[in-house]
Amino acid sequence: DEQLDFPIVYASGKEGRSTLDLMDPAVDMKPLLDTIVHRVLPPVADPDQPFQMLVTMLEYDSYIGRVAVGRIVHGMIQVGNQIVAVKRDGTISRGKVTKLLAYQGLTRVEGESAEAGDIISLAGHQDVRVGETLASPQNPTALPTVNVDEPTISMNFSHNTSPLAGKDGGRFLTSRHIRERLAHEAMMNVGIKVEEADGGERFTVSGRGELHLSILIETMRREGFELEVSPPKVIYKEIDGELLEPVELVVIEVDPGYQGAVIE
């Protein structure tokens, strides 16, 4: 019976309207938002405990450097506070909050403080990665970390050595430019791993699939990089003497009449 006790909101995201009764004309999204406020439980957080935030995403700003994004689990934070990053191996590095950005609707606004339950962007710690915990120096305790899937394929990146190099409008043509760009990508994109080869003239870039790496290649091309890339290679692992290849679980929902064809 408890599962049947739920409200029904009729809404159109395209038109920006919602209503609780089809007989009443929908004007705006207020009925939907009011329902969320009254029916959805608030986040479980304690503002009186020492500050803790799990970093779930990283951004980069050319003026303030690395920006950590996540939800404050406990406590509160203010601009100027000292913080520590608790690494996966238990080590600690220190930093100071220089800028806070909070979310109001779909926009981000700069603020001076934030508390438990808020999703924020925090600048001031240049040595933090996704899955690590930002915490108060008085309680440097790590939150349960986020597991990141290992790369499944790799490709070799190098500078363009063809006779047409630099004649197609490219602005970044050297290995140094490519190295700096890939290092920046590996810093922000947790699914990318970069290794140097051939004395820094070639780079092995590993990702989660062909689409993952093709997006990176296209992004770099639009930024003005000229690249030579190799065909993708599957990353194999040897566990207990057995050679294994990456697999991915896929769930396909189809009508019963097509199940046989899909299984075959």
Residue 110 phi/psi, 5-degree rounding, is -80, 140
Question: Is residue 249 pLDDT above 70, yes or no?
Answer: yes
Q: What is the pLDDT of residue 237?
A: 85
Q: Dump pLDDT digits (tens) for 54-103.
A: 998 888 877 888 889 999 998 999 999 999 999 888 888 898 999 998 88
Q: Dump pLDDT digits (tens) for 100-134.
A: 988 887 788 888 998 888 899 999 888 888 888 99
Q: What is the pLDDT of residue 153?
A: 92
Q: Dump pLDDT digits (tens) for 120-179.
A: 999 988 888 888 899 999 988 888 887 778 889 999 999 888 877 777 777 888 888 999
Q: Dump pLDDT digits (tens) for 29-42.
A: 999 999 999 888 87
Q: What is the pLDDT of residue 33?
A: 92
Average pLDDT, the chain: 87
For residue 232 the two structure tokens come to 């993708």
Q: What is the pLDDT of residue 23?
A: 86
CA 249 from centre of chain: 21
pLDDT band at 1 (very low <50, low <70, confident <90, very high): low
As a 3-state breakdown, the chain gives helix, strand, coil percent values, each rounded to 5, of 20, 35, 45
DSSP β-bridge partners for residue 220: none
SS3 111: strand
Question: Is residue 228 pLDDT above 70, yes or no?
Answer: yes
Percent of the chain residues topping a pLDDT of 70:
100
Dist. CA 222–CA 25, nearest whole Å: 47
Give me the domains of the chain, ranges plus CATH numbers.
2-39 (no CATH), 52-135 (2.40.30.10), 153-236 (3.30.70.870)
Which residue, among 138, 126, 144, 124, has the nearest Cα to 53 in the 3D structure? 144
Q: What is the pLDDT of residue 6?
A: 87
Dist. CA 119–CA 116, nearest whole Å: 9
Dist. CA 135–CA 124, nearest whole Å: 13
Residues 67 and 128 sit within 8 Å (Cβ to Cβ): no
pLDDT band at 205 (very low <50, low <70, confident <90, very high): very high
Is pLDDT larger for residue 249 or for residue 141? 141
